[in-house]
Amino acid sequence: MQTSNRLEGIGEYYFSQKLREIDALNKQGRNVINLGIGSPDLPPHPDVIRVLQEESAKPNVHAYQGYKGSAILRNALSDWYAKWYGVKLDPETEILPLIGSKEGIMHVCMTYLNPGDLVMVPNPGYPTYRSAAKMAGGTIVEYTLREENNWFPDFDELQRIVDAHPGAKQRGSMAWVNYPHMPTGQLPDDTIFEKWIAFAKKNNVLVCHDNPYSFILNDKPISILSVPGAKETALELNSLSKSQNMAGWRVGMLASGKQVVDDVLRFKSNMDSGMFLPVQLAAAKAVSLDESWYAKVNQTYRERRQSVFQLLQLLNTSFSDNQAGMFVWAKIPHQYADGFAMSDEILKEAAVFITPGGIFGSAGNEFIRVSLCSPVQKFEEARERISKAFEKRGTISTSVKI
Ligand SMILES: Cc1ncc(COP(=O)(O)O)c(C=O)c1O
């Protein structure tokens, strides 16, 4: 049977393709150091694992769960938002637990988009915004984030996009937003979310804020829902994948006003059922951890980041040392045509994989991204390999001395 039209132009995810290439190199004995994917390598808090173990040993926890998630988890998520973001969420009506925030992106697109509806996505940005919107039939228009504007949007450009799209104001449109921003590590400033909400109200836009990195290398987590009136025109996705080291557990959430939660639930309840109850109870434990958990996680990432800075200096890149999230984003030296060329060369010569920024959109072409999800020794080993590989030739690229 032929694949559906909605899959047209949806390629294989870059990383799954690249992992096959890395696999092939490993089979040749190259033992590639993969500094690409942002999957936390450390475990969740031991109390979280204990809850899962204890709860899953009980006989009465194995049935289907309600579509809206357990009240215990929703209450814990509500407390988490109140404590850390200063946002009040009604656990009954304004929170929807998700099987990871990535599925939330698809659910939101399927819930709201009709063919041709405008979806604004950041360039550079997380590729799933684009692919989910495309599969749901939306018309995607990129808005550009530029280094010289601290990776914030130009709201005049956004206004032009809305004005140029027939019917956008009447029917409504969707915009994907993400701060701390992946891949650039840009933190939100004091006004960016207010500007987004004002823009959304003026133009009938549903702002979808994706917020999985707010606790990583950042002491001041901010939610777009802290802006007064935000729940009327915005939703937020959040995740336990990064901040609680639970990427494989698949726990995320959507928060907004009751209407949005009800709308998305209409779609989601036809797609899957509630998560395994012990996972939900362990997740509730995870979001009730105190400051010391986040301090410990961040201490680890801070040490790693220092080592990555050294690696990036060796590679003659330039970068900001105030980035949040699990990556460092760096501008490549002029000698390379783009980040793909640089990434390919480093993989071939030194058996180290670094993500080319271009996979996040054309505005990322002159950048590379290094993941912090490896121990410091790996970064040191990568540095050694790179030094050695390029020492032989005397250069990293044709004219960059190391
Ligand atoms: C910006 C961004 N949003 C969402 C996700 C997905 O997170 P989750 O594990 O909650 O599905 C990722 C994961 O890499 C991400 O980088």
Tell me if 300 sits within 8 A of 42, measured CB to CB. yes
- Condensed to tens digits (0 to 9), the pLDDT of residues 52-103 reads 999 999 999 999 999 999 999 999 999 999 999 999 999 999 999 999 999 9
Amino acid in the structure at residue 282: A
What confidence tier does 18 reach under pLDDT thresholds 50, 70, 90?
confident
User: What distance in angstroms lies between residue 372's CA and the mean position of ligand 1's atoms?
Assistant: 15
- Condensed to tens digits (0 to 9), the pLDDT of residues 282-298 reads 999 999 999 999 999 99
Amino acid 181: pLDDT: 98
Q: What is the largest CA-CA distance in the chain?
A: 66
Amino acid in the structure at residue 206: L
Q: How far apart are CA 85 and CA 102, in angstroms?
A: 21
Q: Decide: 101 in ligand 1 pocket, CB within 6 A.
A: yes
What confidence tier does 193 reach under pLDDT thresholds 50, 70, 90?
very high
User: What distance in angstroms lies between residue 357's CA and the mean position of ligand 1's atoms?
Assistant: 17
* Dihedral sign of CA atoms 257, 83, 74, 135 in order: positive
**Mean pLDDT score, 261-288:** 97
Token code pair at residue 63 = 């049935």
Q: How far apart are CA 110 and CA 107, in angstroms?
A: 5
Tell me if 108 sits within 8 A of 98, measured CB to CB. no
Amino acid 15: pLDDT: 78
The three-state secondary structure class of 177 is strand
Tell me if 269 sits within 8 A of 67, measured CB to CB. yes
Token code pair at residue 140 = 């995607």
User: What distance in angstroms lies between residue 320's CA and the mean position of ligand 1's atoms?
Assistant: 22
- Choice between 396 and 266, residue whose per-residue pLDDT is larger: 266
**Mean pLDDT score, 383-402:** 68
Which residue is associated with the tokens 């993969």?
Answer: 34
Q: What is the pTM of this model?
A: 0.95
Token code pair at residue 116 = 């041709």
Residue 356 β-bridge partners: 368
User: What distance in angstroms lies between residue 146's CA and the mean position of ligand 1's atoms?
Assistant: 22
Q: State which ligand 1 atom lies nearest to the alpha carbon of 103.
A: 11
